Structure 1
């Protein structure tokens, strides 16, 4: 499935948050959303996911969901939101309940995603026994267990330390290569955006408007190589140049509230 936004606007009462946002995410593509604080990134994600009702413009997801899809639009949040009394396997199983799956298929899906996310040896562990990175892997495994058509990720790595974030970025690249899930990824971290996305959608200060859509020219599996470090750093510098001034203004606004 694709994600298509056409002239999308949104306001919370008298406060406009998004204005005339139009872009698309092709099937199997990953698009990162960046911009100053308060520019409407999470609001846009919630509109795509149906957590907010559309006000202006149109959000659509043309195309057919993949075979075995149980939930076409699936979120991964910064907060791991794991049930502390359930094991790793039990937390993943939560997403599969009430879908009418037989025991064999349900267990097969759980084992598949635990292996894919590097959790096979931790199936019986409780969340409190895991590091932050491992807990977020559980959240990702739970999300992809339903074989979503579109994955909506709202700063999923922001609570993690730098080393853990690097490891999880490698995991995400491998997962997306296998699953080919259309992904909309909200982040404040420019290095994440450049490392993971096929393209980066840059939003302006509130109300968020499209400033630029920047394609990342280096194939995702090549980006860890030193040969591409200079080009990717230049792209990251370009993105920072697009948002720096407005980010400074937004930061002062947040502090004044």
Structure 2
């Protein structure tokens, strides 16, 4: 796979000392307004009810962008604009971030590492500003190249609580599951404690039966449901899809993954609405 060879190249650079590669530690956030110091992810803030925000029924795009190395990504963004975007392998290319800003998105990208003048990490963007966000980075267990996650809170119309959004790029080069579990643990802890609606999506690198089973079990413990896709043409290793979305306090209306030549991963398009029990007039969990 091309992504694997690129990942190996970057990881070898990290080990051998390439001038083009540097790791940001601790990670910072890049935004349209410039670089921002990271807020710790140990505990989510208690925020007042917000009336304006994402609509009760909203569209989500989840996509590993392959560091924008293929043409056509701009056409994909313009085809069916989503209210919420979760990108993995995003880079701070001016043509990309300018397009997001022009389309009315507020965005934050984790600056996990820089290679050949471009900063890479997960990015979350939405048509409403985030109320809170914090980044995490976890080094690959063998090559030490960091994989990142971004935790965000967004106002959601009609909800007693903001929407908790977790955007994850899972560790890859790990023969066992110890590092995989360790990366997931603090994110699942936040989801477990959170009383409002939750979205947990990204490239989980769930490329084996063992990883996939562990992921499903850990999500089920937090009452996070897996999204089922139709059509389902997600990137797979064998029978196992790498890209996933889990949710709680929401109703899944539609989910599809269709071929797209602009990346080595096909984009996931989903539509959700706020569950009745999560509305401001209903009872919270």
Please say whether Structure 1 and Structure 2 have the same fold, judged by a TM-score greater than 0.5. Answer: no
Q: TM-score, normalised by structure 1?
A: 0.33
- Which is higher, the Rg of structure 1 or of structure 2? 1
**Structure number with higher helix proportion:** 1
The structure richer in strand per residue is 2
Q: Which has the higher contact order (CA 8 A, sep 6+)?
A: 1
Q: TM-score, normalised by structure 2?
A: 0.31
